[in-house]
Chains A and B, each alone.
Chain A
Amino acid sequence: MKKMTVTEKIAVNKYELDEGHPHIVVHEEACRAKCKNLACLLVCPARVYSEVNGKIMADWAACLECGACKAACPTDALDWVYPRGGFGIVYRNG
Protein backbone atom coordinates (compact mmCIF):
# COMPACT_ATOMS: atom_id res chain seq x y z
CA MET A 1 0.00 0.00 0.00
CA LYS A 2 1.24 3.43 -0.94
CA LYS A 3 2.67 5.36 1.98
CA MET A 4 0.54 8.42 2.67
CA THR A 5 1.06 11.53 4.73
CA VAL A 6 -1.47 12.42 7.41
CA THR A 7 -2.65 15.30 5.22
CA GLU A 8 -3.32 12.86 2.34
CA LYS A 9 -5.18 10.49 4.66
CA ILE A 10 -7.33 13.31 6.05
CA ALA A 11 -8.16 14.33 2.46
CA VAL A 12 -9.89 10.95 1.93
CA ASN A 13 -12.32 11.66 4.78
CA LYS A 14 -15.67 13.41 4.64
CA TYR A 15 -16.33 16.32 7.00
CA GLU A 16 -19.29 18.60 7.60
CA LEU A 17 -17.45 21.73 8.61
CA ASP A 18 -19.24 23.81 11.24
CA GLU A 19 -17.74 27.09 10.17
CA GLY A 20 -17.25 29.59 12.99
CA HIS A 21 -17.97 27.02 15.71
CA PRO A 22 -14.67 25.47 16.82
CA HIS A 23 -15.23 22.45 19.06
CA ILE A 24 -11.65 22.60 20.36
CA VAL A 25 -10.40 25.60 22.29
CA VAL A 26 -6.90 25.85 23.75
CA HIS A 27 -6.57 28.31 26.63
CA GLU A 28 -3.20 29.78 25.94
CA GLU A 29 -2.32 30.94 29.44
CA ALA A 30 -2.99 27.65 31.22
CA CYS A 31 -1.38 25.76 28.34
CA ARG A 32 1.79 27.78 28.48
CA ALA A 33 2.03 27.89 32.26
CA LYS A 34 1.24 24.28 33.15
CA CYS A 35 2.16 22.01 30.25
CA LYS A 36 5.60 20.45 30.14
CA ASN A 37 5.27 17.60 27.64
CA LEU A 38 3.06 18.97 24.82
CA ALA A 39 1.29 15.60 24.68
CA CYS A 40 -1.29 16.87 22.20
CA LEU A 41 1.37 17.18 19.50
CA LEU A 42 2.26 13.50 19.91
CA VAL A 43 -1.07 11.77 20.39
CA CYS A 44 -3.29 13.39 17.78
CA PRO A 45 -3.61 11.02 14.78
CA ALA A 46 -4.86 13.90 12.61
CA ARG A 47 -2.06 16.30 13.64
CA VAL A 48 -4.67 18.84 14.63
CA TYR A 49 -2.25 20.52 17.03
CA SER A 50 0.82 22.46 16.11
CA GLU A 51 3.17 24.77 17.93
CA VAL A 52 3.52 28.18 16.36
CA ASN A 53 5.86 30.63 18.11
CA GLY A 54 5.44 28.76 21.39
CA LYS A 55 1.66 28.80 21.12
CA ILE A 56 -0.44 25.66 20.60
CA MET A 57 -2.81 26.01 17.67
CA ALA A 58 -5.72 23.64 16.99
CA ASP A 59 -6.72 23.03 13.37
CA TRP A 60 -10.01 21.60 14.62
CA ALA A 61 -11.57 21.07 11.19
CA ALA A 62 -9.42 17.93 10.64
CA CYS A 63 -10.39 16.37 13.99
CA LEU A 64 -11.27 12.64 13.90
CA GLU A 65 -13.12 13.03 17.21
CA CYS A 66 -11.19 10.28 18.94
CA GLY A 67 -10.60 12.22 22.17
CA ALA A 68 -6.95 11.21 22.58
CA CYS A 69 -5.90 14.84 23.22
CA LYS A 70 -8.50 15.24 25.95
CA ALA A 71 -7.22 12.08 27.63
CA ALA A 72 -3.56 13.03 27.25
CA CYS A 73 -3.60 16.77 28.04
CA PRO A 74 -1.94 17.16 31.45
CA THR A 75 -3.57 20.55 32.10
CA ASP A 76 -7.06 22.02 32.09
CA ALA A 77 -6.12 24.19 29.12
CA LEU A 78 -8.04 22.11 26.61
CA ASP A 79 -11.76 22.53 26.05
CA TRP A 80 -12.85 19.65 23.87
CA VAL A 81 -16.45 18.80 23.03
CA TYR A 82 -18.03 16.92 20.15
CA PRO A 83 -19.10 19.16 17.27
CA ARG A 84 -22.78 20.06 17.14
CA GLY A 85 -25.13 17.38 15.83
CA GLY A 86 -24.73 16.88 12.08
CA PHE A 87 -21.25 18.39 12.00
CA GLY A 88 -17.71 17.09 12.22
CA ILE A 89 -16.27 13.93 10.76
CA VAL A 90 -18.71 11.78 8.78
CA TYR A 91 -17.56 8.19 9.13
CA ARG A 92 -18.87 6.23 6.16
CA ASN A 93 -17.02 3.00 6.81
CA GLY A 94 -17.13 2.76 10.59
Chain B
Amino acid sequence: MGHPLIAPLVKDGTLLEYGAHLVVEGGIEMMPRLYMDGMLVAGDAAGFSINNGFVVRGMDLAIGSGIAAAETVIEAKSKNDFSAQGLSAYPQKLEASYVMADMHTYAQAAGFLKNRRLYKAYPEMITKLMRQIYRQDAQPKKHLMQELLKSLKDSRISLFDLVKDGYKGGRTL
Protein backbone atom coordinates (compact mmCIF):
# COMPACT_ATOMS: atom_id res chain seq x y z
CA MET B 1 0.00 0.00 0.00
CA GLY B 2 2.92 2.31 0.67
CA HIS B 3 4.53 1.48 -2.69
CA PRO B 4 4.88 4.67 -4.79
CA LEU B 5 3.00 3.08 -7.73
CA ILE B 6 0.14 1.74 -5.59
CA ALA B 7 -0.20 4.53 -3.01
CA PRO B 8 -1.82 7.11 -5.37
CA LEU B 9 -4.38 4.52 -6.54
CA VAL B 10 -5.64 3.83 -3.03
CA LYS B 11 -5.02 7.34 -1.64
CA ASP B 12 -8.61 7.98 -0.57
CA GLY B 13 -9.47 4.31 -0.03
CA THR B 14 -10.89 2.72 3.09
CA LEU B 15 -9.98 -0.72 4.37
CA LEU B 16 -13.05 -2.98 4.16
CA GLU B 17 -11.48 -6.18 5.34
CA TYR B 18 -8.10 -7.54 6.40
CA GLY B 19 -7.43 -11.06 5.23
CA ALA B 20 -4.71 -13.56 4.52
CA HIS B 21 -4.63 -16.83 2.67
CA LEU B 22 -2.09 -19.46 1.68
CA VAL B 23 -1.88 -20.39 -1.98
CA VAL B 24 -2.67 -24.02 -2.74
CA GLU B 25 0.10 -25.65 -4.74
CA GLY B 26 -0.81 -29.32 -4.84
CA GLY B 27 -1.97 -29.09 -8.44
CA ILE B 28 -4.18 -31.71 -10.01
CA GLU B 29 -3.41 -34.13 -7.14
CA MET B 30 -5.42 -32.06 -4.68
CA MET B 31 -8.47 -31.38 -6.83
CA PRO B 32 -11.63 -32.21 -4.88
CA ARG B 33 -14.99 -33.25 -6.33
CA LEU B 34 -15.93 -30.33 -8.59
CA TYR B 35 -19.72 -30.58 -8.65
CA MET B 36 -22.53 -32.01 -6.60
CA ASP B 37 -26.22 -31.32 -6.05
CA GLY B 38 -26.62 -27.54 -6.07
CA MET B 39 -22.91 -26.78 -5.95
CA LEU B 40 -19.93 -26.08 -8.21
CA VAL B 41 -16.39 -25.62 -6.95
CA ALA B 42 -14.14 -23.09 -8.71
CA GLY B 43 -10.90 -21.20 -8.20
CA ASP B 44 -8.46 -22.19 -5.51
CA ALA B 45 -11.15 -24.10 -3.60
CA ALA B 46 -10.94 -26.48 -6.55
CA GLY B 47 -7.13 -26.55 -6.37
CA PHE B 48 -6.78 -24.40 -9.49
CA SER B 49 -3.39 -22.85 -9.00
CA ILE B 50 -0.06 -23.62 -10.58
CA ASN B 51 3.45 -23.02 -9.35
CA ASN B 52 6.00 -23.97 -11.97
CA GLY B 53 8.90 -22.35 -10.15
CA PHE B 54 8.77 -19.22 -12.31
CA VAL B 55 5.21 -17.98 -11.86
CA VAL B 56 2.55 -18.74 -9.30
CA ARG B 57 -0.75 -18.58 -11.16
CA GLY B 58 -4.28 -18.66 -9.82
CA MET B 59 -6.25 -15.57 -10.79
CA ASP B 60 -6.47 -16.54 -14.45
CA LEU B 61 -7.54 -20.07 -13.51
CA ALA B 62 -10.12 -18.66 -11.09
CA ILE B 63 -11.59 -16.52 -13.88
CA GLY B 64 -11.48 -19.43 -16.34
CA SER B 65 -13.23 -21.80 -13.96
CA GLY B 66 -15.68 -19.04 -13.00
CA ILE B 67 -16.67 -18.65 -16.64
CA ALA B 68 -17.11 -22.42 -17.01
CA ALA B 69 -19.20 -22.48 -13.82
CA ALA B 70 -21.37 -19.57 -15.03
CA GLU B 71 -22.02 -21.25 -18.38
CA THR B 72 -22.93 -24.45 -16.57
CA VAL B 73 -25.36 -22.62 -14.28
CA ILE B 74 -27.00 -20.83 -17.25
CA GLU B 75 -27.57 -24.20 -18.93
CA ALA B 76 -28.84 -25.74 -15.69
CA LYS B 77 -31.24 -22.84 -15.20
CA SER B 78 -32.70 -23.24 -18.69
CA LYS B 79 -33.54 -26.86 -17.78
CA ASN B 80 -34.27 -25.95 -14.14
CA ASP B 81 -32.09 -28.87 -13.07
CA PHE B 82 -29.46 -28.04 -10.47
CA SER B 83 -28.77 -31.65 -9.46
CA ALA B 84 -25.29 -33.14 -9.87
CA GLN B 85 -26.61 -34.63 -13.11
CA GLY B 86 -27.77 -31.22 -14.33
CA LEU B 87 -24.37 -29.67 -13.51
CA SER B 88 -22.29 -32.48 -14.95
CA ALA B 89 -21.22 -30.43 -17.98
CA TYR B 90 -18.91 -28.42 -15.71
CA PRO B 91 -15.87 -30.75 -15.74
CA GLN B 92 -16.19 -31.12 -19.51
CA LYS B 93 -16.18 -27.35 -19.95
CA LEU B 94 -13.10 -27.13 -17.73
CA GLU B 95 -11.35 -29.89 -19.67
CA ALA B 96 -12.05 -28.04 -22.91
CA SER B 97 -10.54 -24.80 -21.58
CA TYR B 98 -7.02 -23.69 -20.73
CA VAL B 99 -7.78 -24.33 -17.05
CA MET B 100 -7.54 -28.11 -17.15
CA ALA B 101 -5.13 -28.06 -20.10
CA ASP B 102 -2.60 -26.24 -17.92
CA MET B 103 -3.42 -28.32 -14.83
CA HIS B 104 -2.48 -31.40 -16.90
CA THR B 105 0.61 -29.76 -18.38
CA TYR B 106 1.99 -28.92 -14.94
CA ALA B 107 0.58 -31.95 -13.11
CA GLN B 108 4.05 -33.05 -11.94
CA ALA B 109 5.44 -29.59 -11.17
CA ALA B 110 4.51 -29.54 -7.47
CA GLY B 111 6.30 -32.85 -6.90
CA PHE B 112 9.41 -31.69 -8.75
CA LEU B 113 9.59 -28.44 -6.77
CA LYS B 114 9.76 -30.38 -3.51
CA ASN B 115 13.35 -31.29 -4.40
CA ARG B 116 15.49 -29.67 -1.70
CA ARG B 117 18.54 -29.49 -3.96
CA LEU B 118 16.80 -26.74 -5.96
CA TYR B 119 16.95 -24.32 -3.04
CA LYS B 120 20.33 -25.03 -1.47
CA ALA B 121 22.76 -27.23 -3.36
CA TYR B 122 22.20 -25.87 -6.89
CA PRO B 123 22.25 -22.14 -6.08
CA GLU B 124 25.37 -22.73 -3.95
CA MET B 125 27.04 -24.71 -6.72
CA ILE B 126 26.24 -22.18 -9.45
CA THR B 127 27.47 -19.28 -7.32
CA LYS B 128 30.74 -21.08 -6.62
CA LEU B 129 31.21 -22.07 -10.24
CA MET B 130 30.62 -18.52 -11.48
CA ARG B 131 33.09 -17.20 -8.94
CA GLN B 132 35.72 -19.65 -10.20
CA ILE B 133 35.03 -18.75 -13.81
CA TYR B 134 35.06 -14.96 -13.44
CA ARG B 135 37.62 -14.46 -10.70
CA GLN B 136 40.92 -13.00 -11.84
CA ASP B 137 43.51 -13.56 -9.15
CA ALA B 138 46.73 -14.09 -11.12
CA GLN B 139 46.52 -17.83 -10.46
CA PRO B 140 46.46 -20.47 -13.21
CA LYS B 141 42.95 -21.52 -14.25
CA LYS B 142 41.59 -25.01 -14.74
CA HIS B 143 39.46 -26.24 -17.61
CA LEU B 144 35.81 -25.28 -17.16
CA MET B 145 34.80 -28.93 -17.12
CA GLN B 146 37.09 -29.57 -14.16
CA GLU B 147 35.68 -26.54 -12.36
CA LEU B 148 32.16 -27.76 -13.02
CA LEU B 149 32.89 -31.22 -11.66
CA LYS B 150 34.60 -29.76 -8.62
CA SER B 151 31.71 -27.40 -7.85
CA LEU B 152 29.27 -30.32 -8.13
CA LYS B 153 31.42 -32.37 -5.77
CA ASP B 154 31.77 -29.48 -3.29
CA SER B 155 28.00 -29.07 -3.18
CA ARG B 156 27.54 -32.84 -2.90
CA ILE B 157 25.58 -33.15 -6.12
CA SER B 158 26.32 -36.38 -7.94
CA LEU B 159 26.34 -36.52 -11.74
CA PHE B 160 23.43 -38.91 -11.40
CA ASP B 161 21.46 -36.28 -9.38
CA LEU B 162 22.23 -33.66 -12.02
CA VAL B 163 21.07 -35.81 -14.91
CA LYS B 164 18.00 -37.00 -13.00
CA ASP B 165 16.97 -33.50 -11.86
CA GLY B 166 17.65 -32.01 -15.30
CA TYR B 167 15.58 -34.67 -17.02
CA LYS B 168 12.76 -34.43 -14.49
CA GLY B 169 12.76 -30.62 -14.59
CA GLY B 170 12.64 -30.64 -18.37
CA ARG B 171 9.74 -33.08 -18.35
CA THR B 172 7.65 -31.46 -15.64
CA LEU B 173 8.05 -27.69 -16.02
Mark the stretch among A5-13, A17-25, A28-36, A52-60 that contacts chain B.
A5-13
B7 contacts chain A at the CB level, 8 A cutoff? yes
In the assembled complex, the CB of A16 is this many whole angstroms from the nearest CB of chain B, namely 15
B142 contacts chain A at the CB level, 8 A cutoff? no
A-side binding surface: helix, strand, loop or mixed?
A: loop
Contact yes or no, A94 B19, CB < 8 A: yes
Q: When chains A and B are docked, how far (Å) is the Cα of A9 from the Cα of B22?
A: 19
Contact yes or no, A91 B17, CB < 8 A: yes
A37 contacts chain B at the CB level, 8 A cutoff? no
In the assembled complex, the CB of B3 is this many whole angstroms from the nearest CB of chain A, namely 11
- Complex contacts, A64 vs chain B, CB 8 Å: 18-21
- Complex contacts, B15 vs chain A, CB 8 Å: 1, 4, 9, 12
Q: Which residue from A68, A91, A92 sits with its C-beta under 8 Å from B22?
A: A68
Contact yes or no, A93 B21, CB < 8 A: no
Q: Closest residue to A43 on the B side, CB-wise?
A: B20
- A40-61: contact bitstring with B at CB < 8 Å (1 yes, 0 no)? 0000011000000000000000
Q: When chains A and B are docked, how far (Å) is the Cα of A17 from the Cα of B15?
A: 22
Q: Which residues of A contact B (CB under 8 A)?
A: 1, 3-4, 9-10, 12-13, 45-46, 64, 66-68, 71, 89, 91-94
In the assembled complex, the CB of A40 is this many whole angstroms from the nearest CB of chain B, namely 14
- Complex contacts, A89 vs chain B, CB 8 Å: 19
Q: When chains A and B are docked, how far (Å) is the Cα of A66 from the Cα of B44?
A: 13
- Complex contacts, A45 vs chain B, CB 8 Å: 18, 20
- Complex contacts, A46 vs chain B, CB 8 Å: 18, 20
14 pairs, CB–CB < 8 Å, chain A vs chain B: A1-B7, A1-B11, A1-B14, A10-B18, A12-B16, A12-B18, A13-B17, A45-B18, A64-B19, A64-B20, A68-B22, A89-B19, A93-B16, A93-B19
- Complex contacts, A12 vs chain B, CB 8 Å: 15-18
B56 contacts chain A at the CB level, 8 A cutoff? no
Q: When chains A and B are docked, how far (Å) is the Cα of A94 from the Cα of B45?
A: 12
